[in-house]
Amino acid sequence: MTRVLVAGDERMVRELMVAALDREPDLRVVAEVATGAEVAPVACRVGPDVAVLSASLRDLDGVDAVTALRRSVPGCRSLVLAARPSPGLVRSALAAGASGLVHTDLSLAELLGAVRGVAAGRLVVAPELLGAAAEVGRSPLSARETDVLRRVAEGRHPTDIARELSLTVGTVRNHLSAVLRKLDARTQIEALAIARDRDWLRPG
């Protein structure tokens, strides 16, 4: 019997997934949580074999939840579900210790197969995603440049960013110019698209 923990921030989706998994004779859901921060503490208490984690969890996203889970319950394998499984996200999830990452647009049979595959110790990632993830290198941005770009992604104005990071507005603009140069982007929107696709906005 494979013991499963399900973590998802959308209640209806999570409950449907729990019901589907629980109908299988070889699978048993031992816990369900709505936030990433709950994953590791609950897993410590119930001891799952596999954790099925949404990539978009609140508090801690799916990748950070995988990291916390690996520290707290190293024997538990993780399967990440992503609506937009970019190459960078795949790379980050595998680097964190996930055993699989699949698109949310999959059938129930495919989900069950992925859970069983992860439980059996197999790496469950589509070959095309693995290939694309292998081509994603480390971010060329400094920690400060990443901080600035992350705040731009949140809709902050350079004046607000300068105040939050205790910088001058000129320094913020210099960091943004460096970001465009390093990412070979013409605009901040293009730079954000590149950084998101490669999962380079994740805090270091």
Across the beta sheet with 100-103, the strand order is: 27-33, 2-7, 50-54, 77-82, 100-103, 124-125
- pLDDT tens digit sequence for 138-179: 789 999 999 999 899 999 999 999 999 999 999 999 999 999
* CATH 1.10.10.10 intervals, the chain: 143-197
* CATH 3.40.50.2300 intervals, the chain: 2-134
Assign domain 143-197 one CATH number from 1.10.10.10, 3.20.20.190, 1.20.120.450, 1.10.3720.10: 1.10.10.10
In the chain, % of residues over pLDDT 70: 97
Q: For the residues 13-37, what does the mean pLDDT come to?
A: 96
What pLDDT score was predicted for residue 204? 58
CA–CA gap between residue 182 and residue 200 (Å, rounded): 12
- pLDDT tens digit sequence for 32-55: 999 999 999 999 999 999 999 999
Domain at 2-134: CATH code: 3.40.50.2300
The whole model's pTM is what? 0.78
CA–CA gap between residue 106 and residue 80 (Å, rounded): 13
Listing DSSP states for 120-184 in one string gives TT--EE-HHHHHHHHT-----S-HHHHHHHHHHHTT--HHHHHHHHT--HHHHHHHHHHHHHHTT
